Amino acid sequence: MTDHLYAPWRQEFILDAKRQAKDEGCIFCKPETRKHVRELILHRGQTAFVVLNRYPYNAGHLMVVPYRHVALLPALKSAERREIMDLVALASEILVELQNPAGINVGMNLGRAAGAGIDGHLHVHLVPRWVGDNNFLPVLFDTRVISVDLRAMHRKLKAAFARHTKRK
């Protein structure tokens, strides 16, 4: 007999991906008009923004996204590259302050073959990690347990970004 694990968050991700493909629109472009992105934005910079991932690998999974629709690093302007890295550094600082992770995975999946779910608009992932946070569920069943409410995490992170950017 086959056991089944219920992971409803995956269905929402699949339906959103289908909707996006149907609309032929990029979820990261014009984030001010896309409610599901806009409501999770933590910080807006000049050329890029920081957003909480709606489908996180771990609690506090953030993304740094340029406003411009760019698929590959060489297409970024130097000001965009600088600000993206500055925002990655700021987001890392805030994640350490709020969550005290043992480490943070920082990376990009450039192109569908590299694992990009949204391959036309590059974005940098920041995933806080703790020793032992990966158990058998994601390895065997492609199921993750996220123990922190997305809205509560958003409120804490948004307040931290506001505090940090006022200091600078």
**Residues annotated as part of the active site:** 123
| 72, two tokens | 């590959």
Q: At what angle do helices 150-167 and 78-99 cross, to 10 degrees?
A: 120
Sign of CA dihedral 94, 96, 98, 99: positive
3-state secondary structure of 50: strand
Q: CB of 58 within 8 A of CB of 146?
A: yes
Q: CB of 104 within 8 A of CB of 95?
A: yes
3-state secondary structure of 31: helix
| Secondary structure of 100-122 as H, E, C letters | CCCEEEEECCCCHHHCCCCCCCC
